[in-house]
Structure 1
Amino acid sequence: MTRRIDALDVLRGVAIMGTLGTNIWIFTDPAGPAGFLGIGRDMGVVETFLRFLSNGKFLGLLTLLFGVGLELQYRSAVRKGLAWPGRYLWRATLLLAEGALHFVLIFEFDVLMGYAITSVIVAYLIGRSDRVVRTWMVTVGALHLTLVSLLTVALLAADDSTPRTPVDTLYTDGSWPQQVAARLHQVALYRAELIFIVPMGIVLFLLGSRLLRAGLFDERGARLRRRLTALGLGVAAPVNLVISYSGPAWFAVERYVLAPLVALGLLGLITSIVLGMDGAPGMIRRGVTNVGRTALSCYVFQNLAASILCYGWGLGLAAGLDWLRPWWVPVAWAGICLLFMTLTALWLRRFERGPLESAWQWAYRAPWAKRASVH
């Protein structure tokens, strides 16, 4: 059991730092989200490759791990004889509130809101028979592929001669309140990704649950891990690389179809490496594990740190170092990761959970604690 928990913590840490590997391209672009989506400029060969390394892959890995976590919550409820989904719906509500605050105050492309919606749907499916789960996965997966295909066809049919959108200076010259107002004003645009996140999430949540049941994280799963690694890294990754150089019209295929398959390869490979390790963990593994143990805090605060580093109301490095793009971007990512590996190590010396995890745990228990005090 201990080794399984260790593997999950390492995977969460990798996933959290990997999502920053995608998000950092948004923060470091002077045009903000518009620049990240390729509006108004062409990316070079190097930047395209660097973005390929992270785009969607760690989102997929994190989504799979949320499914594993949901399965563990379900098992705990069954073991304790509690009604399901029962209190889990309150957990999902708190996650939705957390994501909404993160979206409004810090980051346009928050994923926690999508995970909250997905978790409510999957909570009613996770205890059903394998046949029901497979039916849902196939049906929702087909819907997801249809949506991705429709968007891709629309983008391919778009007129490339359309004038480019003027560069947005909100992220270089605008204040923090102005950015908050822009997120609220354009909430439909920035939350449109949920159209893809929720169906993809349903499939990956259920898949993560079933992979845990299949023994992925223990000795039984050696063959399964090898198959996932071969599929994700041996087959999907090369196709993903080709697609990433095929133009922005293929963005949805890369991020929402191929990247989740690569994530399965990462899941298999990293789990095999962790389970195969002997002896005390080294400095890097301890750092990644600490990030995994404080995943929610690191996810939110690393985006805040990147905002302070890059935006005009902070240090303004996105505009100041744009002449060094793309070379300085991986350095910024590594610096933020190193910072949070250090901070989490210091924090966990004194506290069992991360700061947001502690606040979240208090909020989760509060309704039942009040009832108990009344009685």
Structure 2
Amino acid sequence: MERIKLLDVARGLAIIGTLGTNIWVFGSSHHTVEVDEVEISNIGSYISHFTDFLTNGKFLGLLTIMFGIGMQLKYTSFQNRELPWFRLYLWSMILLFIDGLLHFIFVFEFDVLMSYSLTGILVAFIIQRSERIMKICMFCAGAIHVLYQVWQGFISVIMSSKLVRMLFPNNPYANISTERDLAEQALIRYDNQLLEISGFTWWEQVVYRMEHFWVLRSEAIMILPMNVFLFLLGIFLVRKGLLKMDERGIRLQKRLLWIGFGIGIPINALSLFNVHFVAFDRYVFAPILSLGYLGLVFLIARHHKFVKTQQYISNVGKMALTCYITQNIVSSFLFYNWGLGLSKHYNPLLIYASWLGISLFMIGFSTLWLQKYKQGPVEIIWRKLGNIPVNRYKQKLT
């Protein structure tokens, strides 16, 4: 029971932390960036960078690792019950894909569930192989992801160099002469895209997402190799004894803490000083710090600190899918024009307050709901649909 509670705490922390990144997408969606607003000396810039340092990609990485941990536990359960693994788990991933597709179309253009479903299908096949094959797949996925990010970073640096700008004045980076210019151009392009969709009615947003499906899904496709790596990492952590509170498990938990914070904090801090590390911060460096967050959850649990807080956060983790969808629905209503349109009044304090308010709402909602039901509303539907092929398989055996 304690082991499951720890997983729920980590999963709940990941959901709340992911909102800490996404809330800025909603809160700044009606805010265009002017040149004089991108100032290193601006205190708002410091706060924004520090928030990115703590949340951007870190809790998404934690959530992805937790998905791999959950897959290993389910795989073990299927083996113990002698159920056919891939065929039945494939149905779960199809349901997750449909859930993510509906979430993408009707709620949030940066949905991650579709990417998780495709990753789950790949890893569900790999997990049946030998550990040697699994490690090869893990290494290859990680290498592909890192090499792609390095290549993209190399291209941006080269294309923004003075020589290339002189030879090719019409290239997209021609007007970029400094790192500050690079940051400004990236922010302006990103904010203009958000500004476009934030001014739509709800139905216009739906149509926009469908018409620009592949463009808006490019990140979900791009992170597939990273997801495969982190899924497999979560699987190996379970197999190495992470969830056991014995000497071996505690040693591994401490190792995650030291690696995550000892290495993760310094390398993630690079993005605070050099804009070319911003993409690396989210897609390469962040998962290392995610390990530190996971190790911190075990550390706090071992020393029985913040027990009540752990319980509240674990309630969010038990209803992770429900809370993930709910927080995006509430954020959309608060900030987009078809709702309250708070993004028109861009204010970092308002965004932070909204994150805190939505987080407290999810904690309160999940706590009250679980007093009556064992699972969240989306999880109940998910479980009933997911058990259909399992029940049919058992009926065939009898």
CA distance in 1, matches of 2:295, 2:23: 26
Aligned to 2:376: 354
> Deviating runs (4+, > 4 A) in structure 1?
38-41, 162-166, 367-375
Structure 1 residues 41 and 79: alpha-carbon distance in aligned structure 2, compared to 1, 3 A threshold: farther
* 2:175 aligned with 1:161: yes
> Relative to 1, partners in 2 of residues 1:371 and 1:63: Cα closer, same or farther, differing over 3 Å?
closer
Taking only the aligned residue pairs, the percentage that are identical comes to 38
1:95-151 CA-to-partner distances (Å, cap 9, x unmatched) read 000011111111111111111001111111113222111111111111111111122
One-letter amino acid matched to 2:257: T
Of 252, 255, 259 in structure 2, the residue corresponding to residue 224 of structure 1 is 252
Offset at residue 48 of structure 1 (A)? 1.4
Distance 1:153 1:373 in 2: 57
1:336 aligns with 2:345: no
Q: Which amino acid aligns with 1:288?
A: I
Q: Mind listing any 5+ residue stretches in structure 2 that lack a counterpart? A: 40-44, 161-172, 177-184
Superposition map of 1:308-323 within 5 A: 308-320=333-345, 322=346
Quick check: 1:217–1:271 contact (8 Å CA) kept in 2? Answer: no
TM superposition score normalised by structure 2? 0.86
Query: 1:192-271 alignment to 2 at 5 Å?
Result: 192-219=218-245, 220-247=248-275, 249-271=276-298
The aligned amino acid for 1:277 is H
Q: Partners in 2 of 1:133 and 1:373 — Cα distance?
A: 33
- Partner of 1:327, secondary structure, is helix
**Is this contact kept in 1: 2:115–2:220, CA < 8 A?**
yes
- SS of alignment partner, residue 124 of structure 1: helix
The equivalent residue for 2:115 is 114
Say what the alpha-carbon RMSD is for the aligned residues. 2.4
Q: CA deviation at 1:368?
A: 5.3
Q: Does structure 2 retain, via aligned residues, the 8 Å contact 1:52–1:241? A: yes
Deviation at 1:238, TM superposition (A): 2.0
Shift of 1:155: 2.5
Letter in 2 for 1:241: A
Q: Contact 2:197–2:208 at 8 Å: present in 1 too?
A: no
Q: Distance in 2 between matches of 1:61 and 1:368?
A: 29
Q: Distance in 2 between matches of 1:112 and 1:310?
A: 22
Compare CA radii of gyration and give the structure with the larger one: 2
- The residue number in structure 1 matching 2:182 is none
Shift of 1:45: 2.0
CA–CA distance in structure 2, aligned partners of residues 78 and 7 of structure 1: 23
Structure 2 counterpart of 1:104: 105
1:271-296 CA distances to partner (integer Å, 9 max, x unpaired)? 22113328x931x2221010000000
Report matched runs for 1:262-281 at 5 Å: 262-277=289-304, 281=307
Which secondary structure does the structure 2 equivalent of 1:128 belong to? Answer: coil
Of 144-153 and 156-165, the range deviating more from structure 2: 156-165
How far is 1:365 from its partner? 2.2
Q: Letter of the 1:289 partner, please give it.
A: S
Tell me which amino acid in the other structure corresponds to 2:295: G
Structure 1: gaps of 5 or more residues: none
Aligned to 1:24: 23
Matched with 1:289 is: 314
TM-superposed CA distance for 1:182, in Å, is 1.2
Look up the SS of the partner of 1:108 in the other structure.
Answer: coil
* C-alpha spacing 1:150/1:97, structure 2 compared with 1 (3 Å): same
Rounded to whole Å, the distance in 2 between the matches of 1:79 and 1:63 is 25
Question: Residue in 1 aligned with 2:14?
Answer: 15
Match of 2:367 in 1: 345
How big is the shift at 1:369? 5.0
1:369/1:212 CA distance change after superposition, 3 Å = closer
Instruction: State TM-score, norm by structure 1.
Output: 0.91
SS in 1 for 2:126: coil
Q: Does 1:170 align with 2:235?
A: no
